[in-house]
Structure 1
Amino acid sequence: MSLRKVGLLPQIGIAIVLGILLGLFVPDWVVRVFVTFNGLFGNFLSFIIPLIIVGLITPAISELGKGAGKWLGITAAIAYGSTIFAGLMAFGVSMLLFPRMLEPGSFSEVGNPEDALLGAYFTVDMPPVFGVMTALVLSFVIGIGLTVLPTDTMHRGFVELRSIIEKVIAVIIIPLLPLYILGIFMNMTAAGQVWEVVTTFIGVIVLVFALTVVLLLIQYFVAGAVARKNPIKALITMLPAYATALGTSSSAATIPVTLRQAIEVGVRRPVASFVIPLCATIHLAGSTTKITAFSLAVMFLSGQDINVPVFIGFIFMLGITMVAAPGVPGGAIMTAAGLLTSMLGFTEPQVGLMIATYIAIDSFGTATNVTGDAAIAMVVDKLAGDQIQDHHFEETPSGELVDVPEPA
């Protein structure tokens, strides 16, 4: 309970510091214990990631097909376009600046820090039931099918599967994640490379934060032009939602504040009460910005060849998988881990570095996500006129938002 009260972000920070300190002094046999744990935990992640994709994306797609008709589709399309734009912007800026900021191939040895250490005491193979791409295709086929067929039986089954997956993430993966990251930084310290990693990624983190600020300015200037509102004034009005997300690191927990501020911006309540909860589920432009920039940094520093068409395809697939992320702490990077390995060829330690750096500024990505939701609401409010009816969203004990008609 005491660890839960500390919060995930402080736990990750403590794990990084302890990993660096312990890596300087502990004997090899202690390092081998953490190598063994990291191997087991990494194998479990490889096993569970396809199930995470199926368990979270399938019911999300099926639920997107119900409720608000064409305006749900329009809102989802705008949110997806915003997410893809954020990823492409991060890709373009990173490709422009990283050659000046980072030394290509300087982390070639860090591709697997455990190679510099003694091996694990033992390993346990945990092959996944199916691959990541199979999981994605399966999710799309079943999810879209559930929106067409007049049956609730399979939908309820996948909703229950989602509850199981969320429980596994909340009870097993997230609590053990700080220990996993501690082991990663202990390994890098013992290999003599941790200071280079930390100092290099500080620059990348600063760049990513700057990108999220630019992204919000672009979103609000576009929304202001469409809705004919002052973009700066609207963005300032949304700052309470930004600050709330910084503290909670949760899009869902910030919905009440985001909704209130969006109405204050001038978005009509029926539109805001529809768009804000929906975008809290499907609009993760800030998270996509972080994952794109960090993954490019890891590839650049590791000396990997960057295939531009493949990476652009990764961004488009990332925008789809982000639908499954909200409501689950650290869900965005956990969901993206499968794409990192299958499409970009990341090794387990590289995915671990991604997890550590992503969670280090997780709240900034969440704050960018929820603040951008109001910009989308401004656009939909202008486009929809009076066609969107009032909606009221209630949260079930499992964390699912249920659309309840507003009483007359």
Structure 2
Amino acid sequence: MEESKKSKKGLGLVPRLIIAIIIGILIGKYCPSFVTSILITASDLFKQFLMFIIPLMVVAFVTMGIADLSQGAGKLLAFTAAVSYASTLLAGSAAYAVASTFFPSFVNEEVVAKVASASDKAISGYFSLTITPLLETTAAVALAFVLGVCISTMRGKEIGDALYNVIKEFAEIITKVLGRVIIPLLPLYICGTFAKMTYQGTTFAIMSVLWKVFLIVILLHLIYLLAAFGLAGILTKRNPVTMLKNQVPGYLTAIGTQSSAATIPVNIKCAESNGISEEIRNFVIPLCANIHMAGSMITITCCVTATLLIYGMSHGFLTLFPFICVLGIALVASPGAPGGSIFTATPFFPIVGIPAVGDIASLLQAMYIAQDSFGTACNVSGDNAISALVDMYYHKYIKKDNLG
């Protein structure tokens, strides 16, 4: 879930990232190398802290996301979760098909050669500080799934709420760290990355690719929504055009707020306009705001595929599909911060051969956050297509007295 409680004063994250990229490019191109090295030193220190926090993020957010799925309405919850996961999985697979087909046309040999030659002009910081994570990422993932599933199935039956409350408060602590440390310092991290890439001569080659990726990603979001509402309209005998028209306020609200949570009230109104029953819209819209991440999956898949092409790495379907499958689950209840989905995805980058922390990872994070609002808008709009399917399933197969 892409939640962001934006400050009423000051610049938002995206403008600050753009400024950081510009400053990094200027420093890398025009400043003496020692200035770039100082910036890289600061960026590397932040990177070490991020490496320490990432496994804790996985334990906190993935555990909570899975544990919260126990709070629902039996078959209705299972059906909603299954449709949401299928939608996310199909969105990611379709995004890969498009990206692998069209991206190679503009990620040419010249771009790959420039990136590959970066090692010929190496530059580093003056010193580094190693902060050993408490858990390896894979161990954190395993622990999160074990805790989440056990809490979900045992809570209120074999155990009480104590462990759930501990994890919930731990997640709130990590959210605070993200909001007060990681997000504010992220521009510094990105600035150092672009300063280093510019010094090594790869920035403009990469930027020539990114704007084309952005256009394709946004187009894929729109195609996904047309397909989702078209299918929902056909199956539920509603007019897809009318449903899309009624969804416009929710889509625009998500773009403006960059927050699934802030969009929930508006999205419920959109569902009401589409004729979704009150009990279903009040159940499905808040739930899907946490578990349905099709727009984010499209963006992440495209960004990862582009990055693999840029760095000349393997990008076959068998490389990406396991990543998409795992991410479809891990994105449940992404942390409440701008770009939350990409931070949730970061620990899983090694599945496709990308280090979880480093220049490639920071480039991926910047690529994603630059259009985060559009991914959020696609997520929440798709929620209403799902609500129509759940509403049909509910009235056709489940009696009202079984809800709850």
Task: Verify: 1:352 aligned to 2:357, yes or no.
Answer: no
Question: 2: CA distance between counterparts of 1:290 and 1:223?
Answer: 23
Contact 2:58–2:344 (CA under 8 A) maintained in structure 1? yes
SS at match of 1:130: coil
Q: Which residue, 6, 11, 15 being the options, matches 1:10? A: 15
Identify if the C-alpha distance between structure 1 residues 341 and 232 changes in structure 2 by more than 3 Å, giving closer, same or farther: same
Question: 2: CA distance between counterparts of 1:240 and 1:140?
Answer: 36
Q: Which residue, 104, 126, 129 being the options, matches 2:134? A: 129
Question: Which piece of structure 1 moves more, 62-71 or 48-57?
Answer: 62-71
Match of 1:362? Answer: 372
Task: Verify: 1:295 aligned to 2:304, yes or no.
Answer: yes
Q: Quick one: which amino acid aligns to residue 379 of structure 1? A: L
Question: 1: CA distance between counterparts of 2:116 and 2:9?
Answer: 32
Question: 1: CA distance between counterparts of 2:53 and 2:38?
Answer: 23
| Pairwise CA distance, 1:41 | 1.4
Identify if the C-alpha distance between structure 1 residues 114 and 369 changes in structure 2 by more than 3 Å, giving closer, same or farther: farther
Mark the runs of 5 or more structure 2 residues left unpaired by the alignment.
Answer: 1-5
Q: What CA deviation, in whole Å up to 9, does each residue of 1:329-349 have, x standing for no partner?
A: 221001111111354333611
Match of 1:141? Answer: 146
| Pairwise CA distance, 1:328 | 2.6
Identify if the C-alpha distance between structure 1 residues 390 and 105 changes in structure 2 by more than 3 Å, giving closer, same or farther: farther
Question: 2: CA distance between counterparts of 1:3 and 1:31?
Answer: 33
Identify if the C-alpha distance between structure 1 residues 361 and 113 changes in structure 2 by more than 3 Å, giving closer, same or farther: farther
Task: Verify: 1:151 aligned to 2:160, yes or no.
Answer: yes
Question: Quick one: percent identity of the two aligned structures?
Answer: 38
Instruction: Tell me the matched-pair count.
Output: 392
Q: Quick one: which amino acid aligns to residue 143 of structure 2? A: L
Q: Which residue, 30, 33, 53 being the options, matches 1:28? A: 33
Q: Quick one: which amino acid aligns to residue 295 of structure 1? A: V
Identify if the C-alpha distance between structure 1 residues 111 and 45 changes in structure 2 by more than 3 Å, giving closer, same or farther: farther
Q: Which residue, 47, 58, 82 being the options, matches 1:53? A: 58
Identify if the C-alpha distance between structure 1 residues 191 and 30 changes in structure 2 by more than 3 Å, giving closer, same or farther: same
Match of 1:376? Answer: 386
Question: 1: CA distance between counterparts of 2:102 and 2:87?
Answer: 22
Identify if the C-alpha distance between structure 1 residues 342 and 101 changes in structure 2 by more than 3 Å, giving closer, same or farther: same
Q: Which residue, 38, 43, 57 being the options, matches 2:43? A: 38
Match of 1:401? Answer: none
| Pairwise CA distance, 1:42 | 1.5
Question: 2: CA distance between counterparts of 1:11 and 1:229?
Answer: 43
Question: 2: CA distance between counterparts of 1:105 and 1:349?
Answer: 20
Contact 1:112–1:349 (CA under 8 A) maintained in structure 2? no
Q: What CA deviation, in whole Å up to 9, does each residue of 1:77-136 have, x standing for no partner?
A: 111111111100001111111222221573355369687343211111122222222222
Q: Root-mean-square deviation (CA), in Å?
A: 2.2
| Pairwise CA distance, 1:388 | 5.4
Matches within 5 A, 1:160-175: 160-175=169-184
Contact 1:286–1:369 (CA under 8 A) maintained in structure 2? yes
Q: TM-score, normalised by structure 2?
A: 0.92
Q: Quick one: which amino acid aligns to residue 310 of structure 2? A: L
Identify if the C-alpha distance between structure 1 residues 389 and 181 changes in structure 2 by more than 3 Å, giving closer, same or farther: farther
Question: 2: CA distance between counterparts of 1:117 and 1:62?
Answer: 46
Identify if the C-alpha distance between structure 1 residues 230 and 140 changes in structure 2 by more than 3 Å, giving closer, same or farther: same
Question: 1: CA distance between counterparts of 2:172 and 2:401?
Answer: 30
Q: Quick one: which amino acid aligns to residue 38 of structure 1? A: S
Question: 1: CA distance between counterparts of 2:10 and 2:265?
Answer: 22
Identify if the C-alpha distance between structure 1 residues 389 and 128 changes in structure 2 by more than 3 Å, giving closer, same or farther: farther
SS at match of 1:73: helix
Task: Verify: 1:89 aligned to 2:99, yes or no.
Answer: no
Structure number with greater CO (CA < 8 Å, separation at least 6) is 2
| Pairwise CA distance, 1:244 | 0.5
Contact 2:84–2:288 (CA under 8 A) maintained in structure 1? yes
Contact 2:114–2:205 (CA under 8 A) maintained in structure 1? no
SS at match of 2:260: coil
Task: Verify: 1:338 aligned to 2:347, yes or no.
Answer: yes
Task: Verify: 1:249 aligned to 2:258, yes or no.
Answer: yes
Match of 1:400? Answer: none
Matches within 5 A, 1:187-206: 187-206=196-215
Question: 2: CA distance between counterparts of 1:370 and 1:390?
Answer: 27
Q: Quick one: which amino acid aligns to residue 8 of structure 1? A: L
Question: 1: CA distance between counterparts of 2:285 and 2:368?
Answer: 24
Q: What CA deviation, in whole Å up to 9, does each residue of 1:175-226 have, x standing for no partner?
A: 0011111111222222222221112111111111111111111111111111
Match of 2:269? Answer: 260
| Pairwise CA distance, 1:74 | 1.1
Q: Which residue, 322, 333, 339 being the options, matches 2:331? A: 322
Identify if the C-alpha distance between structure 1 residues 147 and 2 changes in structure 2 by more than 3 Å, giving closer, same or farther: closer
